[in-house]
A = this chain, B = another copy of it.
Amino acid sequence: MSATGMNRREFIKKTAATGLVLAGTATLAGCGLGSGGESIKWSEEADIVIIGSGFAGLAAALEATEAGAKVKIIEKMPTPGGNSIINGGDMAAAGSKMQAEMGIEDSPELMLEDMLKAGLYLNHPEKVKLVAERSVEALEWVMNYVGTKFVTVNYHGGHSVPRTHQAETGSGGDIVRPMLDKLKEKGIEVETNRKMVRLIQNEEGRVIGVEVLDKYKFGQEDSGTPVFIKAKKAVILAAGGFSQDLQMRMIHDPKLTDKLDSTNHLGATGEVLRAAMKIGAMDVQLDWIQLGPWASPDEKGFGYVPHFCERLVGYAPMINPKTGKRFINETGNRKVRADAILEIGEPVIHVADEYAARKQVIPSSFEGGLRNGSIKQFDTLEQVAEHYNIPLQPFLEEIQRWNSIVEKGQDDDFGCMIFPDAKPMTTGPFYAARLWPKVHHCMGGLVTNTQCQVINQDFEPIKGLYAAGEITGGVHGAVRLGGCAVTDCIVNGRIAGQEAAKEEAWS
């Protein structure tokens, strides 16, 4: 190989640097078709190896275990749960008993329509249909099988009706933790500090296992020891999105520089998604990366303000501090709102009175925001204007106008949905938070069929490879609606687990 100017040692160094480690006695088949003479020294095995321990991975693990498969769950971070455990615990389902009890008329057809409309019809029709149709079944599985308690039905922008079922403490942990407990009962613990670096295929292209760095420490990319885990039936990829993967997200959307914070946990990077593409998996719509419009520049990461402000929409107005006026439908979808805020070029102000602020079902986010200073309390609207440097007269007039809109129950200015129990804002105290978008969710990802098999560049399933949750694309199209991530993960995680368990073992 002297012609290429790279000797064997340099080659090994180079491939190691790219995550393609040629380790010890294991000579690896390349992606696609190897020549057949290779052997891997497996040190562990399972029927199904699941990468990632959020909603989708855990749902897959539970279903696969119920079907009698031996499962391993691999998690690169020191603790399980991924983004799911810091998620807002809102699960969209259309036509639930809880909605009916609250007098909310809804249907899977309406949810499908909402998801397609927000998704700019880029959604893969059969995938989004499945999520809408099975949303209630998934909710009931989380309630009855997992044991999560849901306390009310919330509204998120872009939905036609209140549809997101809020878990008890308003956290995805309310779903993740009992899932982990259930798995523990079955003798399965998430294997943390283990990072998948490569999918291994046999000469036919069937996925037969993974290479993992054992005792990996997140952020220390030279840490960990290579271990080869045989997956007798399948590998399920449930490793989430890449909102924290600066290099990757800036290729797909160069606007998303390091100037933008992310709501995601630090482990939300794209190496597992890219490992699948290295073996020829097809990706779709990776450039649709959602900004959360309800995030605060006055706290790090997800924080408290998103919960607080998402409960205010339909009850309280968002104000452009340059003009003192409203500027967007507060109940519009995330993209509409985030784009409008970015267009203004500085954080906007969500302002509410005590009544609207107390619409919070979960007081912790309100209190947490007050505590860390991202939500502020004021006695008068004049003080609000002074603090945020809002021109006073236009602002006071706009609040008057908002109050008349609330009284009429209809917003002819921006088409905001006004909830029936909304009230005019008249007396203090008032509460306000600044909003500036943060990178929140990757709509795009691997192409999968309705069995959650990963599709290759020949439009065919890659044998032995499944994926579910944020690592996949197609369900949400251009824009994901609030509460639909949990539903996507539970519906497709369960399917992936069930279908993978049906695979015939290859050895």
- Please give the residue numbers on chain A whose beta carbons come within 8 Å of chain B beta carbons, in ascending order: 1, 3-6, 11, 15, 18-20, 27-35, 37-38, 121-125, 202-204, 206, 247, 251-255, 274-275, 277-280, 282-288, 444, 447, 456-460, 463, 504-507
A475 to chain B, nearest CB (A): 12
Give the complex CA separation of A282 and B1 in angstroms.
Answer: 26
Given contacts A122-B254, A278-B280, A286-B284, contact A35 B37 (CB under 8 A): yes
Given A6-B204, A29-B30, verify A254-B35 contact (CB < 8 Å): no
Is there contact, CB below 8 Å, between B6 and A32?
A: no
Minimum CB–CB distance for A249 against chain B, Å: 11
**Contact assessment for B35 and A457 in the assembled complex, using a CB-CB cutoff below 8 Å:** no
Instruction: Return chain B residues, CB-CB under 8 Å to A34.
Output: 30, 34-35
List chain B residues, Cβ under 8 A from A29.
Answer: 30, 35
A28 to B277 Cα, complex, angstroms: 20
Partner of A15, one of B33, B253, B457: B33
A112 to chain B, nearest CB (A): 14
Are B3 and A506 in contact, with the CB atoms below 8 A? yes
A35 & B38 in contact (Cβ 8 Å cutoff): yes
User: Are A458 and B122 also in contact (CB < 8 A) when A4-B506, A30-B29, A34-B35 are?
Assistant: no
Contact B280 A31 (CB under 8 A): yes
Return chain B residues, CB-CB under 8 Å to A4. Answer: 204, 206, 463, 504, 506
Contact status B122-A457, CB under 8 Å: no
Question: Once the chains are docked, how many angstroms separate the CA of A463 from the CA of B18?
Answer: 14
User: Knowing A37-B35, A280-B277 touch, does A123 contact B254 (C-beta < 8 A)?
Assistant: yes
Offer 9 A-B interface pairs, CB within 8 angstroms, sorted by A.
A4-B463, A30-B30, A30-B34, A35-B35, A121-B254, A123-B254, A252-B284, A274-B457, A277-B282
Q: Which of B204, B277, B278, B285 contacts A1 (CB 8 A)?
A: B204
B278 pairs with A457, CB closer than 8 A: yes
Residues of B within 8 A of A206 (CB): 4
**Which of the listed residues A206, A278, A282 has the most CB atoms from chain B within 10 Å of its own CB?**
A278
A274 and B280 CA atoms in complex are apart in Å by 9
Asked if A33 and B37 sit within 8 Å, CB to CB, the answer is: no
The answer to whether B286 and A3 touch across the interface, beta carbons within 8 angstroms, is no
Residues of B within 8 A of A282 (CB): 251, 277
Nearest 5 interchain pairs by C-beta: A30-B32, A31-B32, A274-B457, A30-B33, A18-B458
